[in-house]
């Protein structure tokens, strides 16, 4: 069963959010509650959480600081921020959240956030068909960290740490995958790398830092363009506004 965490220091918010999340999913899920961010980090359940609704304004450790530490506990977790401080939405981009829930619009925003999560991470149609060792496979796009082209071979790096070399018959070029997956949130950051934006933590001048702390090269001449595309993806939930 899918596990979801809600982290908020206000008990009333925890009680209000829970039924809204369950109603939006419309299928059985398990919700874990934490009134303190440090309690989440120390919990044995933290590594099993798929999705977290995270309050930003908390006393012991704020949501941004907690989000920064979360990747060391669970680098596969998806973050949805919650706050009544709506001006913080732009600062939240630095932590690659899936959504920003406004506390004055809990019912609508939670519904929209869950719909987006289901669409991006639970919809099997968003998949990539490949051939590895002459065996056809279909991989959910959400499981892919990035594509790498090296010495005329294309490798797919997955979130579980495995690396799949594609068969020669599949080796058209990264351009083929870029054209196919750009609308699913994959960014061409370098001539040899095509990166899934949902796994990006920070875009620096010389490299991209993924949530698993892996560094990916970036073309410095395209950094402004790449940052702009990345912000568009964050705002639109994974699709370019063409």
Mean of pLDDT over the chain? 86
Tell me, what DSSP letter sits at residue 167? P
Q: Is the pLDDT of residue 239 over 60?
A: no
Tell me which residue of 69, 76, 74, 78 sits closest to 38, measured CA to CA.
Answer: 69
Q: Name 208's Cβ contacts closer than 8 Å, sequence gap at least 6.
A: 189, 195, 200, 202, 215, 216, 217, 218
Q: Which helix (H) or strand (E) holds 91?
A: helix 89-92
Q: In what order do the strands lie in the sheet with 153-158?
A: 163-165, 153-158, 144-150, 193-196, 186-190
* pLDDT tens per residue, range 217-229: 999 999 999 999 9
Q: Is the pLDDT of residue 126 over 70?
A: no
Q: Is the pLDDT of residue 171 over 80?
A: no
Q: Please tell me the distance from the alpha carbon of residue 207 to that of residue 220, in angstroms, as a whole number.
A: 9
pLDDT at 169: 55
Q: Is residue 142 within 8 Å of 117, Cβ to Cβ?
A: no
* pLDDT tens per residue, range 25-54: 877 889 999 999 999 999 998 988 989 999
Q: Please tell me the distance from the alpha carbon of residue 184 to that of residue 101, in angstroms, as a whole number.
A: 22
User: Which has more pLDDT, 7 or 242?
Assistant: 7
Backbone angles phi, psi at 55, to 5 degrees: -70, 145
Domains of the chain, earliest start first: 2-121 (3.40.50.2300), 128-236 (2.40.50.1020)
Q: Is residue 9 within 8 Å of 58, Cβ to Cβ?
A: yes
pLDDT at 122: 61
Q: Is the pLDDT of residue 181 over 90?
A: no
Q: Is the pLDDT of residue 16 over 70?
A: yes
Q: Please tell me the distance from the alpha carbon of residue 58 to that of residue 103, in angstroms, as a whole number.
A: 14
């Amino acid at each position: 069963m899918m596990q979801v965490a809600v982290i908020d220091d206000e008990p009333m918010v925890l009680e209000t959010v829970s039924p809204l999340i369950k109603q939006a999913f419309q299928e059985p899920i398990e919700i874990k509650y934490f009134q303190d961010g440090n309690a989440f980090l120390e919990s044995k359940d933290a590594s099993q959480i798929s999705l977290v609704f995270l309050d930003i304004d908390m006393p012991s450790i704020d949501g941004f600081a907690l989000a920064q530490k979360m990747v060391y506990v669970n680098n596969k977790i998806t973050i949805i921020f919650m706050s009544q401080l709506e001006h913080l939405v732009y600062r939240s981009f630095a932590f690659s959240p899936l959504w920003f829930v406004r506390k004055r619009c809990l019912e609508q925003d939670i519904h929209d956030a869950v719909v987006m999560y289901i669409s991006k991470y639970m919809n099997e149609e968003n998949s990539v068909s490949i051939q590895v060792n002459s065996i056809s496979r279909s991989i959910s796009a959400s499981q892919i960290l990035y594509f790498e082209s090296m010495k005329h071979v294309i490798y797919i790096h997955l979130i579980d740490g495995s690396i799949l070399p594609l068969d020669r018959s599949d080796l058209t070029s990264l351009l083929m995958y870029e054209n196919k997956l750009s609308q699913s949130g994959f960014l061409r950051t370098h001539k040899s790398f095509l990166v899934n934006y949902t796994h990006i933590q920070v875009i620096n001048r010389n490299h991209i830092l993924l949530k698993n702390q892996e560094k990916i090269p970036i073309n410095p001449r395209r950094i402004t363009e790449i940052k702009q595309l990345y912000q568009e993806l964050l705002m639109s939930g994974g699709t370019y506004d063409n």
